[in-house]
A and B are shown apart, each in its own frame.
Chain A
């Protein structure tokens, strides 16, 4: 009877469906599965074997990395939750001087290149660091910054903003009537916090904790620069993979598989817990902002300022040292722009590449994010469900693992893509698309479908309606998300470090290389450019979104 519903004409949406499935299948699923398969293969004969896994669990040198990863990641998560929640609590409920400035600083430390923290702490408190030498001249010996505590310090200062932003957001949604209801029933003080406030924000804390855990677990730059003997999994995978011996790829694949397994378990566990405990809140009247007085006021202010200052120190050190004269790896007297001159004469391509790749990735992400979100929310079908599930995968795949999978999969004819700019852009797209997709779907769910129907009833075809009405209304939300993606893209290291070649080097890769070569001056200058770009992009984000907060 109904010919229209039965006939499947290839149209724009079929094209988008196929395109997105192709992108995920070719650049995510295929590489991931070839990696898993190679984990079960003998490097020499290609036969199926569990030897790679056996080797890993037999040698302490290897399996210690799991223990290390777990201990440092857990410590970072716990510490970040405590610090982030505490700051969010006081910032939301009490008047804090220069609150806006504090928030901006928190966001900057979150969005800054991840390994800058590590290398500037080395500059400050490393073996020949400024602080170390200063204290040594008075005969005071400082504990080493390298290893577990170094990673803990850097990653906590870098990641507590996640928790802060999540929790501060949730606190805004708590209706003051809930608190007043508790008070009217005779509950007050700490008891109120423990029985009402904490349970209400627990799902949010868990969501934030997952972000921190995943980020800390997958982080490559920080442990590489400050970890020294303290081996963690991403570093181990990277060094086994890069190993010149050549037969280590299968072993690295096995380690990558173990890591993906661990992150998947954590991801699913968190999802399970949050699904059971989540509820929606909307506040008519947010909680009132109170005043602290006396010593309490001083302690709270001092605490918040101290944490924020600590997390801003790396940025400031980097900016400062970028203007110092250098002679090789040693900073000498006086200030100049020499480091910047060096960059533009030798590393101009890296600067250009960074902006080019991340902008290309952003365009692709915006296009795919909007169209695929439309498909998965408005045109539900088996195929779009499939895309929806596929798009969850990148959440659990650490950047360095993704880099390895792409490199292994596209190292040969017919798809010889390694070494091209395309493969780096694709890795950026794959890693950030899920976030844009999720936020775009959230926007779409809030747009009434009758808006689209109104346009259709007025004579616009469904496709025209998408571009004239739906897309236009989604754009502000999607763009602000895209700017955040762009910021993370320019700072990306863990997959680029594996995928880059001389031609496709990006700034973050260049900074890493310069730090390894101990050219701290150029590294600092590059970092300054990155930080400056990040801040400008963030200001644009605030302008576009009209918001004062950031959710990643």
Chain B
């Protein structure tokens, strides 16, 4: 049966190199949980620790109440889907799916029934007698999924399962995986570096950087109320501005370097008057107004639904070097478009923008927690 996974101060070391310095997290029973982060952040390492392919140098991992640190991989009852699919090339599709059941000495009739059901669920029944080398990437991934799920594992672990597929197939397989997971109701840990994939598929996402979880939250929360600057820039684009807090009675505002003052209703009480902050504004949170932040258009790219401008701001307005400052103009409602070199004044939407401490480590918005 499906279980919850608890990680308590988990440590991973290779010799002197610490990959994961001490990580705690809880994956709920039946949940689709995604580890998202740039390459080298330790997400695959953590997944392989849960699987039992990597040793655990410190802390504990529990399935329900049971510590699994010392249980070898083949006794953990996990289902795993690999980036390379890892379909056994010498076995037919059906034999691949039967492999785990045979090891469990499932009786013939029961095995036939379960294999038929799962082949049907992932829609590969018609290929069941083929050898895997004659299957497409998407079909192979369906076999891998069926093979992992058919044994009724305690948890399903997926390591970048879609990264070898082309864009269209990726989207299709995404929904297939999601549908099968919901139907079986199995606790799933999914690793990816693709944010769109993570946002679309997950119940909750943990964003990782250098072996540390930056924030765990539902996809929409992660995007709209990121816990720190890293999350706000890693997920989608955020323009970062320097500002300070102005507190007048109950009203709290941010004052930008050009003196423009914007009241932010959701700014937390702990933001003190005069405190230096970073304001993160997403490209779609700007609108053209009389008062606001003044800048020039550097380049523009037409993208159909909207026009994307790169903006030139005076350096003192910005919080450090950034690859680009962007404004997306929704062409469904735009009255006029800007040309390269035009001056423009943009007003940030005060209900949407996020404010962080000056070091970028923590959100100053009300009700934002690191682990939801």
- A interface list, Cβ under 8 A from B: 1-5, 448, 450-451, 453-462, 464-465, 469, 472-473
Contacts and interface: CB of A to CB of B under 8 A. Distances in A.
A526 to B, nearest CB: 40
Given A457-B73, A461-B74, A2 B55 contact: yes
Nearest to B11: A1
Contact of B80 (A454, A460, A461): A454
Contacts of B83: 450
A427 B80 CA distance: 45
Contact of B89 (A1, A453, A458, A473): A473
Contacts of B70: 3-4
A472 B73 CA distance: 21
B19 to A, nearest CB: 15
A1 B73 contact: no
B93 to A, nearest CB: 14
Contacts of B56: 1-2
A465 B73 CA distance: 12
A473 B56 CA distance: 30
Nearest to A452: B86
Interface of B: 51-53, 55-58, 69-70, 72-80, 82-84, 86-90, 99-100, 103-104, 144, 147-148, 151, 157
Contacts of B75: 459
A462 B75 CA distance: 11
Contacts of A451: 86, 88
Contact of A2 (B53, B69, B84, B147): B69
B152 to A, nearest CB: 11
A458 B147 contact: yes
Contact of A457 (B55, B89, B90, B148): B148
Closest 5 CB pairs of A and B: A458-B100, A457-B80, A454-B86, A450-B86, A450-B82
Nearest to A463: B74
A459 B104 contact: yes
Contacts of B58: 1
Mostly, the A contact residues are helix
A373 B240 CA distance: 54
B261 to A, nearest CB: 54
Given A457-B74, A457-B78, A448 B86 contact: yes
Contacts of B89: 473
Given A4-B55, A453-B80, A459 B103 contact: yes
A456 B80 CA distance: 10
A460 B57 contact: no
Given A456-B73, A456-B74, 9 more contacts: A2-B69, A4-B69, A4-B72, A453-B51, A453-B53, A454-B82, A458-B151, A460-B99, A473-B90
A177 B99 CA distance: 44
A523 to B, nearest CB: 45
A114 B131 CA distance: 43
Contact of A459 (B55, B77, B86): B77
Nearest to B79: A457
A467 to B, nearest CB: 13
Contacts of B57: 1-2
B88 A457 contact: no
A5 B72 CA distance: 11
15 contacts: A1-B56, A1-B57, A1-B58, A3-B70, A448-B86, A450-B84, A453-B80, A455-B99, A457-B51, A457-B157, A458-B74, A458-B147, A459-B74, A462-B74, A472-B90
Point out which of B52, B76, B78, B103 has the most chain A C-beta atoms below 10 A from its C-beta. Answer: B103
A325 to B, nearest CB: 54
A455 B88 contact: yes
Contacts of B53: 453, 456
